Amino acid sequence: MDVLTKEQRRKNMQEISNSNTKMEVVLAKALWEKGYRYRKNDKTVFGKPDLTFKRLKIAIFVDSEYFHGKDWDINKHRIKTNRKFWWKKIESNIKRDCEVNIRLKKEEWKILRFWSKDVQKNLLSCTRKIDRIISERSKAKKIF
């Protein structure tokens, strides 16, 4: 049983953003401060990654644990209300993420996916990983 009314739940759900989430912005600002320039939510790249370095073919996604099904086999049973809808929704998100990864890999993109909690708790680790990938790709393409 939901503790909120239908209208309250509806309002809460409408407030959830699919771009420029708090953790996306935190990661983007950290990269900007390091001098990196990127594109946000570039519609010309399949899957519309949160951040892209087009010349280096690096796509970065910051995924919500809930909506993208982190540890799905364990956590799916924690959903108590509207299970049929949420299971279908989250499983289709997981499937779409896999399809995006496959397509971008075929197009020789390097894909980095971070869970939002990882960005929140380990921002330095995330930016270091991106630094390393940018460095590797830059040397290979002789950019930067």
Q: 113, 94 in Cβ contact below 8 A? A: no
Tens digits of residue pLDDT in 32-44: 999 999 999 999 9
Q: What is the tally of structural domains in the chain?
A: 1
The answer to the question of residue 141 being in a domain is no
The answer to the question of residue 143 being in a domain is no
In terms of pLDDT, which residue wins out, 80 or 17?
Answer: 80
The answer to the question of residue 46 being in a domain is yes
Tens digits of residue pLDDT in 21-70: 889 999 999 999 999 999 999 999 999 999 999 999 999 999 999 889 99
The answer to the question of residue 18 being in a domain is yes
d(CA 52, CA 45): 8
User: Closest Cα to residue 61, out of 7, 32, 29, 23?
Assistant: 23
Q: What is the pLDDT of residue 19?
A: 63
Measured CA to CA in angstroms, residue 80 lies from 11, 45, 73, 76, 98 at distances of 19, 36, 15, 9, 26
Give yes or no for residue 14 having a pLDDT over 90. no
The answer to the question of residue 144 being in a domain is no
**Residue 67 belongs to what domain range?**
6-136
| Amino acid sitting at position 38 | Y
User: 56: domain CATH number?
Assistant: 3.40.960.10
- φ, ψ dihedrals at 56, nearest 5°: -90, -10
